[in-house]
Amino acid sequence: MCGIVGYIGKKNAVDVIYCGLEKLEYRGYDSAGIAVIDNKKIQRRRSIGKLKNLQENIKTNSIYGNIGIGHTRWATHGKPSQENAHPHTDCNEKIVVVHNGIIENYIELKKSLQNEGHKFSSQTDTEVIAHLIEKYYKNDLLVAVKLALKDIRGSYAICAICKEDKSRIVVARKDAPLVIGVALGEKYIASDVSALLQYTKDVIFLENGDVAEIKEDSIKIFDIDDNVVDRKSQKILWNAIQAEKCGYKHFMLKEIFEQAQTTQDTFRGRISDELNKIILESIKLTKKEILSISRICIVACGTSYHAGLISKFLFEKFTEIPTEVNIASEFRYCSPVIDDKVLTIFISQSGETADTLAALRLARGKKSKTIAICNVVGSSISREANYTLYTHCGPEIGVASTKAFTGQLTALYLLVMYIASIKEVISNEQLANFISGLRDIPNKISETLKLSSQIEEIAKLFQNTKQFIYLARNINYPIALEGALKLKEISYIYAEGYPAGEMKHGPIALIDETMPVMVIATNSKVYEKVLSNIEEAKARGAKIIAIANKSNNDIVKNSDYQIFVPEVDDFFSPLINVIPLQFFAYFVSVMKGCDVDQPRNLAKSVTVE
């Protein structure tokens, strides 16, 4: 995620940038930095941790300039540290850059730049941008940035300045946001408008592929085909809090809507169509080690545990390795049978959950090979596991996990197919189908997000319900658990998730007209079975809300309300089916007047047992 800010004008850029970064701290907070040009020199200050550490640093080592850039970091490549904090410079500290996004081909670029003699001082993907600009710089920063961008694959919002030319900032964006704040004799740049509002309400939203040259008195924008374009400025009427949430009422809603982007960020750079390959550089298990895995043992809590449950279906089907899934708080107090042939996988958004961390230590003590799937780079679990696969979803602020869950699922899909391909138990054709299916998921998620108002209408009808049952089967059963958890935690309605086929063994006794049933009935090998389970509930008076596909004709007569989601392979369906359930919980919570982002009794990171 990360937040970037830039300023050019008559004010002290350090103050302006710092105030902007404060507003963007929600986008990342593991380190921060500011660079300005003063007397033809780049002055740079960077600090690890929260922004106030940077403030202390600047208080003791003050800097000043009328042009500058700043960054608050959410680590993706390279742990949170001072040398990995932005801004990054080239070899000669002539050019300085801040970046939000992921450079997919940074390893190859870095190797070739190193062969050409460039010296790197961080482990970030961003630093290659500074060196590329240096390589192409011939007294014109704009030209150098444009040439550098031609070499880059991935997503970026960047701001670059050069000590030899303090009259301009060059910025560019692709698949990461960037706005320009317009005012007389000065210009502001930021990842989102929240950082600009205290200075100006007039902003220009750059479009994908735009490059812009920004001076005190002018802005020149080039589109993706290098034509000069006129992007009109808009007046922003949001207040500061609305702006931080990009106009959404709650962080949870914003995070639900981010999922098309965040799932893409999770697989970005990790799949190759040309090579028909999954590339997980951080997982350094050898082929011999992978072939020797006798069992996979997954450990997590809450929503992360549900992601683990889904992956069990996938690991067993595609890697042919027996897989079990454990709740971390239970795992650590039973007697897990684990040795060096068992691969243990720990899933945690925060990477700090005490029970998951304790379980990881237990597994390591038993010589198991450990993989962490985490969102927060540099977190305890990510540091202590042998290997970590990051989800790259950006900070999740809403307590109820949404985008981190779909990020975890995406990372697990990659890991499953990676292990299966190394074991050579899937064909090239299966792998190619998987890769093209995964590439299409962000589009399918975008389509699903369009259902929000329909789901809001259905939520209105159920806002006063006291209880709910969520049913599904097979790979979507954990989605029933997840949907029920979302409803419980943010709207305080008692909800249970059940495997639909298990109803007749007891829970069906609960069903009457006061117990609505949410059921996942998308196309799959168990669709017919789910239909029968719906009929059993309907016959006992329950109102049925079905998540289904348009091609399921029977569902209209069997259910009271239908939410038609786009059709995907059953294998990927959890990634889609969870979204209506997130929306449903969200809207019910809002209608009940609950505190959506900070539900009672809950914390974002559970660092106690």
Closest to ligand F6R by CB, 199 vs 583, is: 583
In the complex, what is the shortest distance from the CB of residue 84 to ligand F6R, in angstroms, rounded to a whole number? 22
Closest to ligand F6R by CB, 598 vs 605, is: 605
Contact 586, 256 (CB under 8 A): yes
Residues 390-429 vs ligand F6R: string with x where CB under 6 A?
----------xx----------------------------
CA distances from 154 to 4, 209, 221, 585 (A): 17, 11, 21, 34
Provide the strand spans (E) within 40-178. Answer: 41-48, 67-73, 88-89, 95-103, 154-162, 165-174
In the complex, what is the shortest distance from the CB of residue 414 to ligand F6R, in angstroms, rounded to a whole number? 18
A 10 A CB-CB count for 365 gives: 9
Closest to ligand F6R by CB, 200 vs 349, is: 349
Residues 488-527 vs ligand F6R: string with x where CB under 6 A?
-x--------------------------------------
In the complex, what is the shortest distance from the CB of residue 346 to ligand F6R, in angstroms, rounded to a whole number? 9
Select the span of 261-269, 333-341, 343-351, 457-465 touching ligand F6R (CB under 6 A): 343-351
Contact 141, 170 (CB under 8 A): yes
Can you tell me the distance from the alpha carbon of 208 to that of 432, in angstroms, rounded to the nearest whole number?
A: 28
CA atoms within 13 A on the CB side of 233: 17
Find the residue with minimal CB distance to ligand F6R: 302
Phi, psi of 138 (to 5 degrees): -135, 65
Closest to ligand F6R by CB, 171 vs 485, is: 485
In the complex, what is the shortest distance from the CB of residue 380 to ligand F6R, in angstroms, rounded to a whole number? 11
With CB under 6 A as the contact rule, the residue among 68, 70, 78, 302 that binds ligand F6R is 302
Distance from the Cα of residue 329 to its chain's centroid? 26
Size of the site for ligand F6R (CB under 6 A): 15
Can you tell me the distance from the alpha carbon of 220 to that of 229, in angstroms, rounded to the nearest whole number?
A: 8
Residues 454-493 vs ligand F6R: string with x where CB under 6 A?
-------------------------------x---x----
Closest to ligand F6R by CB, 404 vs 531, is: 404
Q: Which residues are CB-contacts of 499 (< 8 A; sequence separation ≥ 6)?
A: 471, 472, 473, 477, 480
Can you tell me the distance from the alpha carbon of 461 to that of 427, in angstroms, rounded to the nearest whole number?
A: 48
With CB under 6 A as the contact rule, the residue among 194, 303, 329, 491 that binds ligand F6R is 303
Closest to ligand F6R by CB, 154 vs 308, is: 308
Can you tell me the distance from the alpha carbon of 169 to that of 362, in angstroms, rounded to the nearest whole number?
A: 51
Select the span of 117-125, 297-305, 496-504, 581-589 touching ligand F6R (CB under 6 A): 297-305
The residue whose two tokens read 């991935």 is 154
Helix, strand, coil % over all residues of the chain, rounded to 5:
40, 25, 35
Closest to ligand F6R by CB, 100 vs 408, is: 408
- For the CA atoms of 224, 227, 232, 234, the dihedral, rounded to the nearest 10 degrees, stands at 20
Contact 479, 578 (CB under 8 A): yes
Select the span of 174-182, 231-239, 302-310, 458-466 touching ligand F6R (CB under 6 A): 302-310
Closest to ligand F6R by CB, 280 vs 399, is: 399
Residues 373-392 vs ligand F6R: string with x where CB under 6 A?
--------------------
Q: Is residue 370 close enough to count as binding ligand F6R by CB under 6 A?
A: no
Can you tell me the distance from the alpha carbon of 609 to that of 606, in angstroms, rounded to the nearest whole number?
A: 8
Select the span of 46-54, 124-132, 248-256, 299-307 touching ligand F6R (CB under 6 A): 299-307
With CB under 6 A as the contact rule, the residue among 304, 311, 474, 559 that binds ligand F6R is 304
Segment 112 to 151, residues that bind ligand F6R, using CB under 6 A = none
With CB under 6 A as the contact rule, the residue among 356, 448, 474, 562 that binds ligand F6R is 356
A 10 A CB-CB count for 56 gives: 11
In the complex, what is the shortest distance from the CB of residue 558 to ligand F6R, in angstroms, rounded to a whole number? 30
Burial of 294 (0-12, 13-18, 19+ CB in 10 A): exposed
Contact 572, 440 (CB under 8 A): no
- For 390-439, what is the HEC assignment? ECCCCCCCCCCCCHHHHHHHHHHHHHHHHHHHHHCCCCHHHHHHHHHHHH
With CB under 6 A as the contact rule, the residue among 126, 262, 344, 349 that binds ligand F6R is 349
Closest to ligand F6R by CB, 411 vs 542, is: 411
Select the span of 44-52, 130-138, 236-244, 348-356 touching ligand F6R (CB under 6 A): 348-356
Select the span of 6-14, 35-43, 346-354, 565-573 touching ligand F6R (CB under 6 A): 346-354
Select the span of 63-71, 137-145, 344-352, 564-572 touching ligand F6R (CB under 6 A): 344-352
DSSP 8-state code for residue 224 = T
In the complex, what is the shortest distance from the CB of residue 348 to ligand F6R, in angstroms, rounded to a whole number? 3
Q: Annotated catalytic sites, by residue? A: 2, 604
Segment 568 to 607, residues that bind ligand F6R, using CB under 6 A = 605-606
With CB under 6 A as the contact rule, the residue among 66, 264, 350, 524 that binds ligand F6R is 350
Closest to ligand F6R by CB, 376 vs 455, is: 376
Q: Is residue 301 close enough to count as binding ligand F6R by CB under 6 A?
A: yes
Closest to ligand F6R by CB, 319 vs 401, is: 401
Burial of 233 (0-12, 13-18, 19+ CB in 10 A): middle
Rg (C-alpha) for the chain, rounded Å, is: 25
Residues making up the chain, counted from first to last: 609
Helix 428-449 and helix 259-267, axial crossing angle in degrees, nearest 10: 160
Binding site residues, ligand F6R, CB under 6 A: 301-304, 348-350, 353, 356, 400-401, 485, 489, 605-606
